[in-house]
Amino acid sequence: QHGMVGEGDAPAMVAAITAAGLPAVIRVRWNEPGLVGFALDMGAAAVIAPMVNSAAEAKALVKAAKYPPLGQRSWGGYAMVQTAGVSAAEYLRDANSHTLIFAMIETREALAALDEIAAVKGLDGLFVGPSDLTIALTDGGSLDRSGAATIAAMGRVAEVCKAQGLVAGAFAGTPDFCRAYAALGFRFMAGPTDTDLLNRGAEAFLKATAPN
């Protein structure tokens, strides 16, 4: 969503990730049918859609991401079939259960509609954007994701996911947040960004080679 990867770069990246035996996860720029369909057509194993604030928006996401009878995803983009290594008929049969769809919870509106969003048939999980959620809960006053209000809201998301049989996900970024969110009941977490990993690796190298 916030990265600089464009539509021209993503298909080759997904193919490389899949060739390595790993699932490709794409957070699209917005909850828009064309973007969701494009991500799935190139072979994404999971798609995360930002700023889903109502049951109606969650239903629109499922409609774009799932084939009938759950949704109305358009057929096409044969890269997905090649990536899956199956026939077209096999992909159609299994796609709804083999591709995961996450709605992002990151606003006061989403929290108010949390039970209704989680009850939407066809969703596989909810994914919290803690930074945007913190900004929303503090009315733009903080980015401190460890705040009590943010942690409490995330705990509620995890509880609702458990009750509905959904996967609870979140952007963690650091080992401390990974541990904290796991304690809340989250099972799927994004780790550091590539730039964070590069910075930390460079810092560790410089520290290790600095003169005593």
pLDDT for 120-143, tens place per residue?
999 999 999 999 999 999 999 999
Q: What is the CA radius of gyration of the chain?
A: 18
Q: What is the pLDDT of residue 7?
A: 80
Residues paired with 170 in a beta bridge: 128, 189
User: Residue range 87-98: average pLDDT?
Assistant: 95
Mean pLDDT is lowest, of 101-115, 157-171, 195-209, for 195-209
Give the residue, 211 or 110, on which the prediction is more confident.
Answer: 110
Q: For residue 179, what are the contacts with CB-CB under 8 A and spacing of at least 6?
A: none
84 or 35, greater pLDDT? 35
- Tell me the pLDDT band of 60, cut-offs 50, 70 and 90: very high
Residue 212 in this model has a pLDDT that exceeds 80: no
For the question of whether the overall pTM of this predicted structure is more than 0.75, the answer is yes
- Give per-residue pLDDT as tens, 3-21: 878 788 999 999 999 989 9
| The pLDDT of residue 113 is above 80 | yes
Query: Tokens standing for 15?
Result: 């193919």
- Please state which of the ranges 76-80, 130-134, 168-172, 191-195 shows the lowest mean pLDDT: 76-80
Integer CA distances (angstroms), 112 to 52, 71, 130, 142, 208, in order: 12, 25, 16, 21, 49
Q: pLDDT by residue (tens digit) across 146-190?
A: 999 999 999 999 999 999 999 999 999 999 999 999 999 999 999
Whole-angstrom distance, CA of residue 91 vs CA of residue 88: 5
- What DSSP assignment string belongs to the chain? --S---TTTHHHHHHHHHHTT---EEE-SSS-HHHHHHHHHTT-SEEEES---SHHHHHHHHHHHS-TTT--PPP--THHHHHHTS-HHHHHHHHHHHSEEEEEE-SHHHHHTHHHHHT-TT--EEEE-HHHHHHHHTTTS---TTSHHHHHHHHHHHHHHHHHTPEEEEE--SHHHHHHHHHHT--EEE---HHHHHHHHHHHHHHHHS--
Per-residue pLDDT at 82? 86
What's the confidence (pLDDT) of residue 79? 87
Q: What is the pLDDT of residue 77?
A: 79
Residue 85 has pLDDT above 80, yes or no: yes
Catalytic residues: 2
